[in-house]
Chain A
């Protein structure tokens, strides 16, 4: 019996040693600006052509009305939609989920836009299915729309790229116009694909700000939500590319699931081990918890890249810290509805509808806070629904 116990003890000891060994590698390879090879983003989530394209798109002036960014498009290639011109007015929407505040905010905006068009007689029926982040569910949701033969257009917000491609193609083959927005799919059969500039631009906005505002040699901690999600991986890939060419030291990148308690704990631990001068986040969820970790540890505020979520923007104003709010344009939820109506009228739409995506800086922060002053803290500043009749109550009393 003693022998087994010794075995178990040995196994436990080996395991602890092993786990500590594995960590040595990344720590040793870690940052220092001269090791560009290590720091430059690598293949899996980094496509240089896309990266260059997105970064260039940030400087392009979008076409369309400046006061309605959800109708603007960057370098649009218009396609003819005369073949879809019709009198049917039933609009179907297959939603991936409303599982985070960003999607909740956008979903409200979309419904408000639909209400306006319903009253104007442009839409008669709006049918929605919510797949709750389940690929299989969404595939069958789309199939059900196709089988019903009652949809005059199908809007799809895919839950994942690869798995939903087939379902989107099925919808296209049914002959009704298909509109995809937010995350993409690996096909171009849809009439239009609507999205803001993208993840590389988002990550780059945040990273460039830190490089700009911090002294060379400053230490930056990266907080990420989850691994393996393309829109988030692109943000981090762009940041790695930019940090790699800078003189900033990246202390680490940690996955937090957007959980405030986890974020606060992780940041607190980094602060116990030494100074942190900057925080880069791939999404603003829980950004306030990160700021509070500095307050509770009695340290100076970091230079920070959060998001246009109001809780962070309010904290930013209250503390007067140096920060930026990169934006993944929430107003994109209005565009697919307006696009559907355009298509029914046979009006041209961009094949790839790239919406503007501009970060909120200290210069326009107060303006956006003022516009959203009645909004709850998990609301997104660039939701773009101020001119809809349901404003502000629809977003306020969710």
Chain B
């Protein structure tokens, strides 16, 4: 082969990867959505606007990482939306505007998150309740417990330092502000990517792919899955800190986030049932979903059409991504 022929072949391979299906589809869709946004509103790509977009998207990216860890090992976590709401309510209730309580409250939230994840994990693995039911139950328990504790609507207030991470950033000349939230999301993304390349990550995927085979190979399936649930709840806690910081306390915070997170992960080509997909694609799924929301806003699409358009685009994207699994592309 000469170089002249290998070049186009290389480009073809890249194109095949991008548009051929599987996880890569989401990147193609992301690019497509960004191109349409750029066409509609070029100012979107000015650094301050872009940073504002990334700041808004950061919590969903973090949630998508957590949901990915659970989905890839063959489970689902429906409790994350309620957990975000509960954590913000706890933060507001405990801090109650006192700066000095910020750090202890953060630790309390992490402990609470880890505890919820542990309960989810053990109920699924030891009591053998299907994760759909176990986490659905947890979703209702958290929702109800917070209503009970707060009497229906969150009370108290967050401190300014608590809100720093979700709201403020490092002042830079070009982008005006590099939001902390973006740094947090990128950091978690890197950690998760590294984790998935380590033995634990591979075990997680193997468990989702074939539970029995993994068990025969010496994997303690219950342990691996429980850890995945704990990580998911911890990441939901981080997302709660970001969301609470971004917009403050209201009665609606967190509602419906579990489905948005699952959608993001599935959009990233990660297979429900486990065993396939990359964490990077899951994060790209979250970004794509947020980009779609932004696009709908830019288009000032009537709110009645939005869910319809969103649903069609997601089904089309996932159907496309699924093609590769049915008939893998042979690259010669």
Which A residues fall within an 8 A CB radius of B?
1, 5, 8-9, 11-12, 15-16, 19-20, 22-23, 26-27, 98-101, 103-105, 107-108, 227, 252, 254-255, 257-261, 263-266, 268-269, 272-273, 285-286, 288-289, 292, 296-297, 311, 376-378, 398
Number of A-B contacts (CB under 8 A): 137
5 contacts between A and B (CB under 8 A): A8-B316, A105-B153, A258-B252, A273-B43, A292-B247
- Whether A264 touches B247, Cβ cut-off 8 Å, given contacts A8-B320, A100-B153, is yes
**Given contact pairs A22-B301, A260-B247, A261-B246, A398 touches B151 in the complex (Cβ within 8 A):** yes
B252 near A252: Cβ-Cβ < 8 Å: no
B82–chain A nearest beta-carbon distance, Å: 15
| C-alpha spacing A260/B156, complex, angstroms | 16
Q: How large is the interface on B (under 10, 10 to 19, 20 to 34, 35 or more residues)?
A: 35 or more
- Which residue in A23, A98, A260, A297 is a CB contact (below 8 Å) of B252? A260
Chain B, interface SS category:
helix
Chain B 288-314: CB-based contact to A (< 8 A → 1; otherwise 0): 000001101111111111000100110
| Cβ A378 vs Cβ B316 within 8 A | no
* Residue pair B323, A257 in contact (C-beta under 8 Å): no
- Minimum CB–CB distance from B4 to chain A (whole Å) comes to 25
- Chain A residue contacts of B243, Cβ below 8 A: 261
Are B153 and A23 in contact, CB atoms less than 8 angstroms apart? no
Q: Decide: B251 and A378 in contact? CB cutoff 8 A.
A: yes
Q: Report A-chain residues with C-beta under 8 Å of the C-beta of B297.
A: 254, 265-266, 269
User: Contact at A252–B152, with CB atoms within 8 Å?
Assistant: no
Q: How far is the CB of B88 from chain A (nearest CB, A)?
A: 10
Per-position 1/0 for B306-332, Cβ under 8 A of A: 000100110011011001000100000
**Bound state CA distance, A257 and B19, in angstroms?**
36
| Minimum C-beta distance from B80 to chain A (A) | 15
Given A19-B309, A296-B167, A261 and B152 contact (CB-CB distance below 8 Å): no
Q: Does B155 contact A (CB under 8 A)?
A: yes
B251 touching A15, Cβ below 8 Å: no
The answer to whether B246 touches A19, judged by C-beta atoms less than 8 angstroms apart, is no
Mark each residue of chain B from 18 to 50: 1 if its CB lies under 8 Å from any CB of chain A, else 0. 010000000000001000100011011000110
A286 touches B247 (CB 8 A): yes
B91 CB–A CB distance under 8 Å = no
Known contacts A26-B300, A286-B247, A292-B167; A98 and B320 CB within 8 A of each other: no
A263 x B247 contact (CB < 8 A): yes
Contacts of A9 in B (CB 8 A): 19
Known: A23-B301, A285-B251. A272 touches B44 (CB 8 A): yes
Q: Are A12 and B155 in contact (CB under 8 A)?
A: no
A contact residues around B151 at 8 Å (CB):
104, 108, 398
Q: Which residues of B lie under 8 Å from residue A258 when comparing CB positions?
A: 250-252
Chain B residue with minimal CB distance to A287?
Answer: B250
**Which B residues are in CB contact (< 8 Å) with A98?**
152
The distance from the CB of B232 to the nearest CB of chain A, in whole angstroms, is 20
CB-CB under 8 A for A103 and B303, given A12-B313, A15-B312, A258-B250? no
State A259–B81 Cα separation when bound (angstroms): 13
Check: B223 CB closer than 8 A to any chain A CB.
Answer: no
Nearest opposing residue in chain A for B33, CB measure? A16
Report A-chain residues with C-beta under 8 Å of the C-beta of B249: 260, 311, 377-378
B175 at the interface (CB under 8 A from A): no
Beyond known contacts A258-B250, A378-B154: 11 more, CB 8 A cutoff? A12-B317, A16-B36, A19-B299, A257-B252, A258-B251, A259-B252, A260-B253, A268-B52, A269-B298, A377-B155, A378-B250
Interface assignment of B110: CB less than 8 Å from any CB of chain A:
no
Interface centre among B153, B154, B300 (most CB of A within 10 A): B153
A227 near B250 (CB under 8 angstroms)?
no
Which residues of chain B come closer than 8 Å to A227, judged between CB atoms? 303-304
Q: How far is the CB of A159 from chain B (nearest CB, A)?
A: 16
Partner of B41, one of A103, A107, A252, A273: A273
Closest to B293 in A: A265
The answer to whether B167 and A285 have CB atoms under 8 Å apart is: no
When chains A and B are docked, how far (Å) is the Cα of A356 from the Cα of B236? 45
Give the CA-CA distance A101 to B316 in the complex, in Å. Answer: 39
Task: Output the nearest chain A residue to B167 by Cβ-Cβ distance.
Answer: A296
Question: Given contacts A272-B44, A292-B167, is CB(A378)–CB(B153) below 8 Å?
Answer: yes
- Tell me if A107 and B250 are in contact (CB < 8 A): no
**Neighbour of A286 across the interface among B41, B59, B250, B316, CB < 8 A:** B250
Please indicate the chain B residues that have their CB under 8 angstroms from the CB of A16 in the complex. 32, 36
Task: Kindly list chain A residues whose C-beta atoms are within 8 Å of the C-beta of B247.
Answer: 259-261, 263-264, 286, 289, 292
On chain B, the residues within 8 Å of A19 by CB distance are 296, 299, 301, 305, 309
What is the 8 Å Cβ interface bit string for chain B, positions 209-230, against chain A (1 contact, 0 not)? 0000000000000000000000
Are B302 and A22 touching (Cβ within 8 A)?
yes
Interface members, chain B 162-177 (any A CB < 8 Å): 167
**Residue of chain B at shortest CB distance from A15:** B312
Chain B residues with Cβ below 8 Å from A255 are 303
Contact of B49 among A254, A265, A272 (CB under 8 A): A272
Max chain B C-beta neighbours (<10 A), residue from A1, A104, A108 = A104
User: B300 and A261: CB pair below 8 A?
Assistant: no
The answer, yes or no, to whether B255 is at the interface (CB within 8 Å) is yes
CB distance from A251 to the nearest CB of B (A): 9
Q: How far is the CA of A292 from the CA of B248 in the complex (A)?
A: 10
- Report the Cα distance A87→B19, complex, angstroms: 78
Query: Can you list the 7 inter-chain pairs with the closest CB atoms, starting with the nearest?
Result: A398-B151, A260-B247, A104-B152, A101-B153, A376-B155, A261-B247, A259-B252
